[in-house]
Amino acid sequence: MKVLYVTSECVPFIKTGGLADVAGSLPAELNRLGADVRVVLPKYRCIDGYWLSRMAHVTDFSVLFGPRSMYCGVETVTDNGVTYYFVDNEEMFSVDAIYGDGVQEGYRFAFFCRAVAEMLRRLDFVPDVLHLNDWQTGLVAAMLRTQYAGDKRLAAMRILFSIHNLRYQGVFDWHAMNARLGFDERLFTPDYLEFYGSLSCMKAGLVFADHINTVSPTYAREIRTPYYGERLDGLLRARGAALSGILNGIDRVVYDPATDRFLGAHYGLDDMAGKAEQKRLLQQELGLAARADVPLIAMISRLTPQKGLDLVERVLTDIMRMDVQLALLGDGDRRFIDLFNWAAWRYPGQVAAYIGLNEGLAHRVYAGSDMFLMPSQFEPCGLSQMIALRYGSVPVVRETGGLCDTVLPYNKYTDEGTGFSFANYNAHEMLFTLERAALYYREDRLMWARLVRRGMEADFGWDASARQYLALYGRLCGVCGGAGDAPGKAADAPAKPSPAPRRGGAAQKGAGNRAPAGGAAPAGKD
């Protein structure tokens, strides 16, 4: 099985979020299981010089991008058994921040998609499956199924489109983008690329992929509803037979408290003494009071409303009255930066806030904390709660997305569970759950030790998920079984490729006010 994994970021080259971790781990695990999975991403200027110096030139060609013919190089490097391709164009990829610069961001990833399509015509490597990830790659699916439909080699490739976060959709002005992309104007309808009067790159992937998957089974169900569907729920319901969820995993070698190079004290299931010592060291490092009796609550997060930080804001003073400590690591919206900086000033020795990214400190916070708080409004998968479990930090989570699929709520009657959870997006429900967890921590340390142990024993490595991906790839290509296990719920039967646009007729008036539709059949209004 040959797969080309297309992504906008990938560890160890460039990382802004969880997509990079997945792209850096899943292909390596798939290759270990016998597949040939290669990765392609842009060659950003901000990639570390160590990797830039190791890249070897593969080919170069011209890409027609609007009225211009632009240079495109392809370079490669191999790491951990994975071949990586880098799309090179200094004008497009010489950026310090890969996201967030408006229309230029749209042009950057539109060019990347065009370059990938052209690259596929020139590489000796011919994938059976093209695995696209998030809106930055969605236009590849639309290009291959319309503009390149006459190329038999490209037409034979099956397309899998993975949603890592539906909220970020790559919505841009149709006319500005299409002046560079050259799509048939008949594609600008609710059945295809039009999204409330604009072009949606996410929708392009959803409409034209052979199969859609998300990064957890629960999120795959949630996004078919208006609350979680980000105005694409109609389309996702229409494509329900071709939509499934496979849980992400974590690298159990990188995240191992027994060997973690970032820790000052190591520990494991056979000897937990080092965890108490790491807590003491973390308190010292962050300027928190050195108290073993107080529960240390950690948050490592992008500071955005998605992560439920408005709930924390609402009851922060109540949390502090519980006699707990709070350690926050992250960056994002100014509103939440100011909140946690204020909290660290207001509650010295009780609250510590590190604004920014620090990989080593993150590992020490996981290891030194007693509880890990994730009150997310929505969470497609989440990796932090899995890492927290691995390090013996008990998760306190809202019941949504991947948090539902990975954290089993504690049941005092059966003494089962790996964490604590609350259902409603409500600040006081979160507060009550934190109070309950803190009470157990203080009054029943034997129960707490069992809770910690069960979490550390849970296996969220990539093996099981990678086998489900292999099975899904096999089904997409008409191969039963293959190297992977039967996918079960994680891989529904893929839909047939979306047809080319109907002949005749222009884009419907008022299409921007219609619910998006999937495939050849409109989904109807939500």
| DSSP, residue by residue, 149-171 | TT-HHHHTSEEEEEES-TT---E
All structural domains of the chain with their residue ranges: 2-249+463-503, 273-457
d(CA 156, CA 213): 20
pLDDT given at position 504: 32
pLDDT given at position 74: 98
| Residue for token pair 């490097």 | 77
pLDDT given at position 511: 34
pLDDT given at position 503: 31
- Sequence-distant (≥ 6) Cβ neighbours of residue 261 within 8 angstroms: none
pLDDT given at position 17: 86
335 by DSSP, 3-state: which? helix
pLDDT given at position 91: 95
Give the pairing of strands 371-374 and 394-398.
Answer: parallel
pLDDT given at position 482: 41
pLDDT given at position 490: 37
Element (H, E) at 38: strand 36-42
216 by DSSP, 3-state: which? coil
Q: 3-state SS string over 281-295?
A: HHHHHHCCCCCCCCC
Alpha-carbon Rg for the chain, nearest whole angstrom, is 24
2-249+463-503 against 273-457: fold identical: yes
Select from 375, 382, 387 the least CA-distant residue to 215. 382
Considering the domain 2-249+463-503 in this protein, what is its CATH number?
Answer: 3.40.50.2000
φ, ψ of residue 58 to 5 degrees: the values are -105, -55
84 by DSSP, 3-state: which? strand
d(CA 246, CA 224): 16
Q: Which fold has domain 273-457?
A: Rossmann fold (3.40.50)
- Sequence-distant (≥ 6) Cβ neighbours of residue 395 within 8 angstroms: 371, 372, 373, 374, 385, 388, 389, 403, 407, 418, 419, 420, 455
Contact 261, 204 (CB under 8 A): no
Contact 25, 383 (CB under 8 A): no
Contact 130, 144 (CB under 8 A): yes
Select from 299, 254, 248, 297 the least CA-distant residue to 405. 248
Give the CA count within 13 Å in the CB-facing half-sphere of 131.
27
Length of the chain: 526
pTM: 0.89
Task: Report whether the peptide linkage leading into residue 12 is cis, meaning its omega lies within 30 degrees of zero.
Answer: yes
Would you state the structure tokens that stand for residue 318, as one six-digit string? 């109540």
User: Exposure string (b/e) for 94-111, b if CB count within 10 Å is 16 or more?
Assistant: ebeebeeeeeebbbbbbb
d(CA 84, CA 507): 40
| Residue for token pair 């570390």 | 48
What stretches in the chain show pLDDT beneath 70?
480-526
Tens-digit pLDDT profile for residues 6-28: 999 999 999 988 899 999 999 99
Give the pairing of strands 296-303 and 82-88.
Answer: unpaired
pLDDT given at position 33: 96
Name the burial class of residue 450, with classes exposed (0-12), middle (13-18) and buried (19+) by CB atoms within 10 angstroms of its CB.
middle
pLDDT given at position 518: 38
